[in-house]
Amino acid sequence: MTNNQTFIGYIGTYTKGGSEGIYTFKLNTDKKRIEDIQVAAAQLENPTYVTISKDNRYLYSVAKEGENGGVVAYSINREGGLTELNRQLLQGSSPCHVSVDSNNRYAFSANYHKGSVESYLINQEDGTIQPAASVIKHEGSGPDPRQEKPHTHYAGITPDENYLAVVELGIDALITYAVNSDGTLSKAHFLPLKAGSGPRHLVFHPNQKFAYIMTEFSSEVIVLSYHSENGHFTEKQYISTLPEDFTENNQGSAIHISSDGQFVYAGNRGHNSIAVFRVNQETGELSFVDRTSTEGDWPRDFMFDPTEKFIVASNQESSNLVLFSRDENTGKLALIQADIEVPYPVCVKFLNY
């Protein structure tokens, strides 16, 4: 969609303090600069999380509309602009996470406030979303006062695309659902995690044998083995993302892994940093490498560019993006640009190249 030196990205935001919706930007890798920030989709309330189809034809966003919330489908034009196709809304709060499978057959959303996971069929001919096929509400609570009820925070397809991995912050659990051909979900496995840890987001190792969860409350990465034959997970390791002497408020945020499987990156809101870990390729376990300041307040997300030589981070409360270069051998980050203004940025995504 652009030349090889420039990549198109998107920012989901909270629509307050001047934010107008979903923003688009360009990363110029020759100049090592983020440029041309524009509103890509306005008149959309709180499009905090977005996802892009593998073929770059469609973008899907969470959204709020009055007393309802759900998922909105957009087509992506050659310049990266967005045109709304349709939206599917349910009564109650909007979701906090949305994802699709690699063939764009299904969309999934996780609803923090309602403690539920939703699945949708996607129309193959035009990318529009059908009404929800499954709405599953979780039950339970956790020991932290913020775990008074279920708070579903992530729902993503497993690498084999047979199961949906759902991370439940409110009840400290990883729940696996089988994905049926009609888009409905069937419970396959329930893994309780450390009480009060507040699991938030998950990524898979490229070898599909390991997975990593970032916890919000305990600020740890949980290393897991994934068993594709039945969709089960087992715990292997817990490792902190914070310095031992840090005692102030911190809430873990995003987690991502390099495509070579060598490094895991985890965000700290409060400490305002990204922690870097090296992956043992035999065991999947992690060892600490480095922490880098995000040069702002409350880093909600970050993402590799398509070359993985750069990372773009979003500081929600200081309303700025930050561009880092990434050493592919050591995993370490180096600051390039920190004065990129975007109001209340949450999610960062790039088109697939």
Give pLDDT tens digits for 200-255.
Answer: 999 999 999 999 999 999 999 999 999 999 999 999 999 999 999 999 999 999 99
Query: What predicted TM-score, i.e. pTM, was given to this entire model?
Result: 0.98
User: 1 pLDDT exceeds 90?
Assistant: no
Q: Are 302 and 312 contacting, i.e. CB atoms less than 8 angstroms apart? A: yes
Check whether 3 has a pLDDT greater than 70: no
Q: What is the pLDDT of residue 133?
A: 98
Task: Tell me the C-alpha distance between 199 and 197, whole Å.
Answer: 6
Q: What is the mean pLDDT of residues 195-200?
A: 98
Per DSSP, which regions of 21-151 are E strands? 22-28, 33-41, 50-52, 58-65, 68-76, 82-91, 97-100, 106-111, 116-122, 129-137
Residues contacting residue 298 through CB under 8 Å, at least 6 positions apart: 269, 270, 272, 315, 316, 317, 318
Residues above pLDDT 90, as percent of the chain: 97
Asked if residue 72 has pLDDT above 90, the reply is yes
Cα gap 86→60, rounded to integer Å = 10
The band of 284, judged by pLDDT with boundaries at 50, 70 and 90, is: very high
| Cα Rg of the chain, angstroms | 19
Is the pLDDT at 296 greater than 60? The verdict is yes
Band the pLDDT of 43: cuts 50, 70, 90: confident
| Contact present, 94 and 87 (Cβ < 8 Å) | no
Q: Where are the beta strands (DSSP E) in 195-260?
A: 199-204, 210-215, 220-227, 232-240, 251-257
179: pLDDT strictly greater than 70:
yes
Of the pLDDT bands very low, low, confident and very high (cuts 50, 70, 90), residue 2 is: low
pLDDT band at 160 (very low <50, low <70, confident <90, very high): very high
**Predicted local distance difference test score (pLDDT) of residue 42:** 81
